[in-house]
């Protein structure tokens, strides 16, 4: 029985390491996009001042609208990344809790099965977001 518990804890440790790594990637991408959004918001403020001074220059108005669209897209991507990152963090915490506090093979199997089910759901959602963003990317690239 101890061999089974050790095996399950070893598997949960691998799951925890994977989830922590993916959470780190999500956090990094979120931070980069957040920096882009912040810099573009500064650009929007500058363009807004320029629009007031130049009395509705069409080129400036078009740039202003384009940046607004970009910020909205990046915000949607960041929300998806926050959602996925939170799910990976929760899975990491459940794995660590199982490794640290549980010494029952039955409970460890329940935790393992829970993580398998939630991982499958998270991966399906991540795949959906990926397909959606890639499709939008190619739609925008082909329209240029």
- pLDDT tens by residue, 85-132: 999 999 999 999 999 999 999 999 999 999 999 999 998 988 998 898
CA 1 to CA 13: how far, in whole Å?
A: 18
Contact (Cβ atoms closer than 8 angstroms) between residue 72 and residue 33: no
- Its pTM stands at 0.84
**Residues in CB range of 144: below 8 A, 6 or more apart:** none
Q: What is the pLDDT of residues 55-84, one digit of tens each?
A: 778 888 898 899 999 999 999 999 999 999
Query: Quick one: 102 exposed, middle or buried, by C-beta within 10 A (0-12, 13-18, 19+)?
Result: middle
Query: Quick one: 100 exposed, middle or buried, by C-beta within 10 A (0-12, 13-18, 19+)?
Result: exposed
End-to-end CA distance of the chain: 63
Q: How many CB atoms lie within 10 A of CB 86?
A: 12
């Amino acid at each position: 029985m101890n061999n089974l518990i050790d095996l399950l804890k070893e598997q949960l440790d691998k799951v925890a390491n994977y989830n922590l790594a993916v959470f780190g990637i999500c956090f990094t991408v979120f931070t980069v996009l957040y920096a882009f959004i912040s810099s573009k918001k500064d650009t929007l403020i500058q363009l807004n001042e320029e629009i007031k001074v130049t009395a509705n220059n069409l080129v400036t108005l078009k740039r202003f609208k384009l940046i607004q669209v970009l910020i909205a897209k990046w915000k949607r991507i960041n929300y998806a990344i926050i959602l996925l990152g939170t799910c990976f963090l929760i899975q990491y915490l459940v794995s660590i809790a199982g490794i640290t506090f549980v010494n029952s093979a039955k409970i460890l199997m329940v935790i393992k099965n829970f993580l398998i089910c939630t991982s499958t759901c998270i991966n399906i959602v991540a795949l959906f977001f990926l397909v959606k963003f890639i499709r939008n990317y190619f739609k925008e690239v082909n329209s240029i």
